[in-house]
């Protein structure tokens, strides 16, 4: 049983969320705070000021990550938390920001109570989560250290210039790497960015892990021909083949027991004219699950469907794996601790995977990782109407606080 004595200041957390959302606010209420932009720089300074106000020592590593450290009573690896404050071009005020500001609020609560944990607490603001995740990848040792072109911005700005703006150093990027001897645990609070918790009327999501993502580029080659003079049984219609493939992608995901997902999200038709039988279709297939074995099962089933579609339509279908991300499982011990804390706080909870990518995925490659979800209204995220209520944000912060307190006691 977890003993509950401290509580975070929900009103203060909400005020900080409101204050941060004014930096990069768009006319219709969304937020645009792209990594390395003037808005990002202003927000970073706001985070540094908030950390300094609660007696945190500030460092900025070579990847530009801001690390606020609240010292512990013993020389032990840190209990780390945090997230990101950069946004998509037209995002909301909770994605990433809640995790950073809740971490600062946890430290503020302990500081007001005059309390130090055995372990130091670190609140980390990761660099460019919405882009190439250079911050968490550098910390995990998985960054592209020798490929500056990989991180070049769409406007042509080099990564060297970007990192220099925020106090980082491309030439020293490898020095940002850390180990489990530095960070004992990484625990991230995040809005769900989906509608599962709301649909299940649960207050807290206990994340099982962050899924593997495998993306395939598919080219379907048929034969363009006259839409009026080509009989149906003489066609090699690439779009007809694509329609069968889209249905097959859906079917292989739902036919296997489990929570896996598969999506065709992009489709390009050539020549894309009303009076021509389509000669080529390019599309993408996105598959996600915690289990690589499950994804392999889906891929194998899909390849069997592809062979049948080729015979039926007279087309050729080529699948090329374009992108793959290994899954990261959350620590069972941390999941159990989060659930026990929820029970003590009388908060309902649900065990679930994260199908979105987070900095926690990279951090979990070298240390124990856990994530706490709070609901997203209507499952909306990366949009101006992204919303999580002040009460829900505060509940998440309380779970974060008490999970860190329990881990501080039990990791020794």
CATH code at position 133 = 3.40.630.10
**Is the same domain home to 317 and 349?**
no
**Is the same domain home to 285 and 201?**
no
Q: What is the pLDDT of residue 1?
A: 54
- CA dist list (Å): 343 to 187, 338, 350, 376: 18, 9, 11, 21
44 φ, ψ to 5°? -60, -40
**CATH code, 265:** 3.30.70.360
Residue 314 structural domain: 212-325
Query: pLDDT tens per residue, the chain (412 residues)?
Result: 566 689 999 999 999 999 999 999 999 989 999 999 999 999 999 999 999 999 999 999 999 999 999 999 999 999 999 999 999 999 999 999 999 999 999 999 999 999 999 999 999 999 999 999 999 999 999 999 999 999 989 889 999 999 999 999 999 999 999 999 999 999 999 999 999 999 999 999 999 999 999 999 999 999 999 999 999 999 999 999 999 999 999 999 999 999 899 999 999 999 999 999 999 999 999 999 999 999 999 999 999 999 999 999 999 999 999 988 899 999 999 999 999 999 999 999 999 999 999 999 999 999 999 999 999 999 999 999 999 999 999 999 999 999 999 999 998 5
**Is the same domain home to 182 and 74?**
yes
Q: What is the pLDDT of residue 5?
A: 81
24 conformational bin, left if phi > 0, alpha if psi -120 to 50, beta if neither: left
Q: What is the pLDDT of residue 30?
A: 94
- Measured distance CA(150)–CA(357) in Å, rounded: 19
Q: What is the pLDDT of residue 174?
A: 97
**Is the same domain home to 54 and 33?**
yes
Nearest Cα to 135, choosing from 94, 80, 181, 184? 80
Q: What is the pLDDT of residue 411?
A: 82
Task: Pick the last residue of a domain from 278, 307, 325.
Answer: 325
Predicted TM-score (pTM) of this structure: 0.92
**Is the same domain home to 231 and 321?**
yes
Three-state secondary structure call for residue 67: strand
**Is the same domain home to 206 and 221?**
no
Q: Count the domains in the chain.
A: 2
Nearest Cα to 96, choosing from 65, 130, 119? 130
- CA dist list (Å): 188 to 79, 295, 350: 11, 26, 16
- Residues placed in the known binding site: 84, 95, 130, 190, 215, 275, 288, 382
Q: What is the pLDDT of residue 166?
A: 98
- Residues placed in the known binding site for allantoate: 215, 275, 288
- Residues placed in the known binding site for Zn(2+): 84, 95, 130, 190, 382
């Amino acid at each position: 049983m977890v003993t509950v004595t401290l509580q975070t200041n929900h009103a203060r957390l909400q005020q900080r969320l409101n204050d941060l959302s004014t930096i990069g606010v768009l006319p219709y209420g969304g937020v645009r705070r792209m990594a390395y932009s003037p808005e990002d720089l202003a927000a970073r300074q706001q985070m540094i000021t908030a950390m300094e106000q609660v007696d945190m020592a500030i460092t900025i590593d070579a990847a530009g990550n801001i690390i606020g450290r609240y010292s512990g009573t013993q020389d032990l690896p840190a209990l780390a938390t945090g997230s990101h404050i950069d946004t998509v071009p037209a995002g909301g005020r909770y994605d990433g920001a809640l995790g950073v500001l809740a971490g600062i609020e946890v430290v503020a609560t302990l500081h007001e109570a005059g309390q130090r944990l055995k372990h130091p607490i670190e609140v980390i603001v990761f660099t460019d989560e919405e882009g190439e995740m250079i911050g968490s990848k550098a910390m995990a040792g998985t960054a592209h250290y020798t490929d500056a072109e990989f991180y070049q911005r769409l406007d042509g700005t080099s990564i060297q210039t970007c990192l220099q703006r925020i106090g980082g150093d491309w030439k020293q990027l490898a020095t940002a790497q850390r180990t489990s001897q530095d960070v004992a645990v990484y625990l991230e609070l995040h809005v769900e960015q989906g509608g599962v918790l709301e649909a299940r009327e649960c207050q807290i999501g206990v994340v099982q892990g962050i899924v593997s993502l495998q993306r395939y580029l598919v080219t379907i080659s048929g034969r363009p021909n006259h839409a009026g003079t080509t009989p149906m049984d003489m066609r090699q219609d690439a779009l007809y083949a694509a329609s069968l493939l889209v249905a097959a992608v859906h079917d292989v995901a739902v036919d296997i027991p489990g929570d896996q997902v598969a999506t065709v999200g992009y489709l390009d038709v050539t020549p894309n004219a009303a009076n021509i039988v389509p000669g080529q279709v390019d599309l993408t297939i996105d598959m996600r699950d915690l289990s690589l074995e499950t994804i392999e099962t889906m891929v194998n089933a899909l390849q069997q469907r592809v062979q049948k579609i080729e015979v039926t339509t007279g087309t050729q279908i080529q699948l090329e794996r374009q992108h793959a991300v290994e899954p990261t499982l959350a620590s069972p011990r941390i999941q159990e601790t989060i659930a026990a804390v929820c029970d003590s706080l009388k908060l309902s909870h649900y065990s679930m995977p994260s199908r979105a990518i987070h900095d926690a995925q990279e951090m979990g490659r070298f240390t124990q990782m856990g994530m706490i979800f709070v609901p997203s209204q209507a499952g909306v995220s990366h949009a101006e109407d992204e919303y999580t209520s002040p009460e829900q944000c505060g509940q998440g912060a309380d779970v974060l606080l008490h999970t860190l307190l329990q881990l501080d006691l039990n990791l020794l």
